Amino acid sequence: MSAAKYIFVTGGVTSSLGKGIISASLGKLLQARGFKVTIQKFDPYINIDPGTLNPYEHGECYVTNDGAETDLDLGHYERFLNIPTSQANNVTTGRIYNNVITKERQGEYLGKTVQVIPHITDEIKRNLYLLGESGDYDFIITEIGGSVGDIESLPFIEAVRQVRWDLGPNNALVIHLTLIPYLKAAKELKTKPTQHSVKELLSYGVQPDILVCRTEMPLPPDIRKKLALFCNVHLNSVIEAIDADTIYDVPILMRKEKLDERVLAKLKVQSKSEPDLEQWKDFLGKLKNPIEEVTIGLVGKYVTLPDAYKSIVEAFVHAGAQNDCRVNLKWISSEEIQHESVESIIKGLHGVLVAPGFGERGMEGKIEAIKFVRENKIPFFGICLGMQCAVIEFARHVVGLDGASSTELNPKTKHPVIDLMEAQKKITAKGGTMRLGAYTCKLKKGSKAAHAYGETTIQERHRHRYEFNNAYLEQLEEAGLKPVGINPESNLVEVVELKDHPWFVGVQYHPELRSTVMNPHPLFVKFVEASVNYKKSTI
Ligand code: GLN
């Protein structure tokens, strides 16, 4: 294929219909036919990126190799397609306006009045085309955040209208994801909300080519016909998206509904082959037929919103399948853990993961939990703040450094075993200023981490301001906390392990961001394996 083809995914009726999963599933199907695909997300909010958002607002902030702080849907794109995304894959209204205003200040608009159309829409289109222009892709799938009718999404929908006009119908198409509610009392599926949202799209000049209909019940032929008739789409372009047991079923369901075939036919693309989904189906088979079962505690501050830990949850799904093991997660609020309650909360678990996080709240609970799993030799995995808490716990209770802490928790601590990174000391601005993105780490031969990865030079993604304070390195190492992963340039400790413990690993980076269906993360795989072994040892 020569020029990239553009597929837009819009949402109607309500949010949370799963545009990200539909986009990722379509991407998977096209990729499984041998095409090169990427997915980007355009978010209508005014923040420049989601990095400054509280996780309760928007779920996890996903970090790419190039250090972009992005929407959690990019995690789905990577997990499904198994290829990295970048800053170019996530653009917000804030970024668009920021670029336009910067250009205006530099005089680039030559005295023109700067307006939503054409200046904002041109900037949206410039960003839309960036990935396509690289020549690396046959298809660019663009998910438009929000729902049709939102004031904020209007410039994006207008840009979609223009792109379809610019490129022509063989090069750009629109998939509208909508909801077909089921009214229990009437025992009926209802098409009216979809008719309205398509009318709304039409009023902006956009006719969807394909309708993907989220539904609890199978769509009977008469409902499909009605949708086709009222929404001006072909009958075979009304695609049912029935609620699935797992998001990983969706590519298979979309294949059954021939979503990929409809897309290819409309864009006049010949497919070289049928999609090869063998590996995907193998994964699903393992996921759905586990032999083992473990329960792992996930200790964090935002546990009432599991989306805040999306990539960790999904990494457990991948690692569980790899181990033929169902992983049940027990969500533990770090604020609820106190000295007296820790045993009753953690007893019976086969492993504990202490999650990433920010700020003082809940940190002492995390430290209590780590003390318990260290002493009781329960498998432990600490990620970012979780690793930092493990260092503090060890310094306090094993080395005897009373009051040891992180300067994030206590700026006046006598023993700042975790301290603000030198490069962070002068930074005051919040957005995009942490240590972000992929860095190299060298692992010590013979460590659990090196064994898990099967290599000693790795690249992992980061998002933090504080670090292991090397002034305490010797003291902690002598007492048994081994720094087994080091950044070769900055000497920053990236991985710690405990001597004399079956599996106690803390990492400063975020391994969960690199776990995909095809490449489950080795540390999650080994942690689940250690939890299975621990369970067996307790029976
Ligand atoms: N708050 C800690 C830091 O900034 C940990 C960050 C995290 O867990 N992502 O270093």
Output the residue whose Cα is nearest ligand 1's atom 1.
Answer: 358
Confidence of residue 1 (pLDDT cuts 50, 70, 90): low
pTM of the model: 0.95
User: What's the mean pLDDT in 412-424?
Assistant: 92
Region 503-512: mean pLDDT is: 98
- For residue 366, report the distance from its CA to the centre of ligand 1, in Å: 13
Q: Please report which confidence band the pLDDT of residue 361 belongs to, taking 50, 70 and 90 as the band edges.
A: confident
Whether the predicted pLDDT of 527 surpasses 90: yes
Pocket lined around ligand 1, Cβ cut-off 6 Å? 356-358, 384-385, 408, 463-466
What pLDDT, on a 0 to 100 scale, did the predictor assign at position 13?
84
- What is the pLDDT, as a whole number, of residue 60? 93
SS3 of 480, please? Answer: coil
pLDDT higher than 70, residue 12 = yes
Q: Which residues are designated catalytic?
A: 384, 510, 512
pLDDT at 56: 81
Look up tokens 């207008």; give the residue. 158
477 contact partners, CB below 8 Å, separation of at least 6: 483
State the pLDDT confidence band at 2, using cuts at 50, 70 and 90.
low
Amino acid at 366: K
* φ and ψ at residue 56, rounded to 5 degrees: -65, -20
CA–centroid distance, 50 to ligand 1, in Å, is: 16
pLDDT digit string (tens) for 380-415?
999 999 999 999 999 999 999 999 999 999 999 999
- 221-225, 362-366, 449-453, 455-459: which has the minimum mean pLDDT? 362-366
Q: What angle do CA 421, 307, 256 make, to 5 degrees?
A: 130
408-442 burial, b for 16+ CB within 10 Å, e for fewer? bbbeebebbbbbbbeeeeeeeeeeeebbbbbbebb
pLDDT in tens, 127-151: 999 999 989 999 999 999 999 999 9
Dihedral angle sign, alpha carbons of residues 410, 416, 417, 423: positive
Mean pLDDT rounded to a whole number for the chain: 95
pLDDT tens readout for residues 192-238: 999 999 999 999 999 999 999 999 999 999 999 999 999 999 999 99
Which residue in 71, 80, 90 sits closest to 27, CA to CA?
Answer: 80
Question: How far does the centroid of ligand 1 lie from the alpha carbon of residue 385, in Å?
Answer: 5
Higher pLDDT: 339 or 403? It is: 403
Residue of minimum CA distance from atom 8 in ligand 1: 356
